[in-house]
Chain A
């Protein structure tokens, strides 16, 4: 029983990270129906930016409390990735707005390759170890242990999700985003600037991915330029799982995928861990492409 709860907790933790990345996929897909293949790599860039800030902190100040470093690294990653996201949208996707999906998808694969190899050239191809910034505190309860890092991941992710839900539901910009997702042309006719909404979507998605990247690096203690590919694919699975285009769906999908993966690794086989995500992905795409919370969208004629 304690193994089960332990795996559930570990799965929930990584599920939160998947959910944060999945939000970016689902928001972009909701607005422009593009599978932004480069999103996983934005996440990876976020992790590297966080690492860079940890190095910078270590060089300049010593003995800063951990939450200061953590906040700084998350904000730094968010700012960097927000700019990157806007830049990618402007350079790579904007000229292709009127092209078929295939063209934009191929472009996003190109961007993904570019980011991966740019990071590899700058930081090297070896795993980079992330210094431990959160004190090693573990809470033990009936043989189930829960670290402070996991606690931080939970609180940060939940706070961001609450913020995002509020933003989408209540603010004017959020309403405009929903309008664009509902009917792009009609929203344009109502005076909503499509370019602006698309830019905001990319900026917010990338900032969320950056937070996920920072937390991922801190949690695992090591990052590699390849990490974005697998994490991105799993987050995409999570987005599809929950119903692509649906924001609560991405959150639920991410957490569920993390839990399923954690339990699968513990009870079935850890070697095949990565296969679970892909099998789930294919199964959902084949049998229920609308996901758990997504609406059923028929192919438009």
Chain B
């Protein structure tokens, strides 16, 4: 009885930490249960998708702004880490936040002018930006290696304390083995989920929902619309940038064609499927769409076809997504387009 009281109180005091721990910590057992290296690698890739879906959800779900060039921010993060590492010898742990910040700066620079324009035009602007970034990485051969990309990006290193033969630090380098990456990505997902929960419960989060529901009313109530939208854009780009750095260090190679429009739409499909505006929804969508190709091996060719059909059906029959809120459902059903 007392134990359950303790947990109740803990959950009430720290609802977000508890949720994150409850839903994500069990995944840390995955490599212990399933020793198949291929599966661990797959789960790591899905983890990167989860990060991206959570990041895109900030813009699409919370702010209601459609970003169709999200892969560009992922690409900028990956290239930023790759260039910093290859030219300046920047280690991973410094490169990770740096990639996020570079990507965020790009997000703010792109967002600042384009956020003023109407919703559906913003979608097309971001799409154009995404294409420009990809073509630029493809054509700037001197810096980015053109279509061949950048090779030999360093993997992360960690320092483990050792006590045998006197206390000293032993460096442990990540290798082809995906298990350390799995824990790295899991840690980042937990960090991002916690960050986003805190954000969605803060002034910014509430302001975002207000803007999504009725921009004019929100601005009349004193919500600084542009500033809040830009914050969402920057935060979303930051998460994508960090995901990009992890991706680059895991692949040790980045090429422009890993970041095409299909990836942007794939991430969007994850958010739509899981539920726009719902943090666990985005994660669930990424988990489902990431694992689906493995479960349906024999339908590999029909994968993208099914994504298309799924997006149409979701919008018609369940616009709020699998875990979507009633709020989004009502908005998506009754709000009359002008």
Contact = CB atoms under 8 A, between A and B. Distances in A.
Which of B66, B315, B331, B334 has the most A CB atoms < 10 Å from its CB?
B315
Interface stretch (A73-81, A101-109, A165-173): A101-109
Interface size class of A (residues with CB under 8 A): 35 or more
A121 B299 CA distance: 12
A35 B68 CA distance: 13
B127 A286 contact: no
Nearest to B317: A95
Interface string A106-118: 1101111111111
A299 B315 contact: no
Interface stretch (A55-63, A187-195, A197-205, A277-285): A277-285
Q: Chain B contact residues: over half helix, strand or loop, or mixed? A: helix
B34 interface: no
B125 A35 contact: no
Interface in A260-301: 271-272, 274-275, 278-279, 281-282, 285-286, 289, 299-301
A21 to B, nearest CB: 15
Interface string B255-274: 00000010001001100100
A144 to B, nearest CB: 30
A233 interface: yes
Contact of A281 (B125, B139, B308, B336): B125
B133 to A, nearest CB: 10
Contacts of A111: 308, 312
A267 B17 CA distance: 58
A285 B312 contact: no
B304 A107 contact: no
A115 B307 CA distance: 11
B221 interface: no
Nearest to A94: B316
A99 B333 contact: yes
B316 A107 contact: yes
Contact of B305 (A95, A105, A117, A272): A117
A110 B315 contact: yes
A33 B128 contact: no
Contact of A286 (B114, B268, B333, B336): B114
A240 B123 CA distance: 13
Contacts of B139: 271-272
B124 A100 contact: no
A35 B305 contact: no
A96 interface: yes
B338 interface: yes
A155 interface: no
A103 B321 CA distance: 12
B311 interface: yes
A222 B124 CA distance: 27
B121 A289 contact: yes
A104 B272 CA distance: 12
Contact of B124 (A35, A95, A110, A299): A35
Interface in A191-243: 229, 233, 236, 240
A91 B313 CA distance: 10
Interface string A136-172: 0000000000000000000000000000000000000
B309 interface: yes
Which of B121, B302, B336 has the most A CB atoms < 10 Å from its CB?
B121
6 contacts: A100-B332, A102-B332, A110-B308, A110-B310, A229-B261, A281-B125
Please list the 10 inter-chain residue pairs (A to B) with the smallest Cβ-Cβ separation, ordered nearest first.
A110-B311, A113-B308, A114-B308, A278-B128, A117-B305, A110-B312, A117-B304, A107-B315, A300-B338, A110-B308
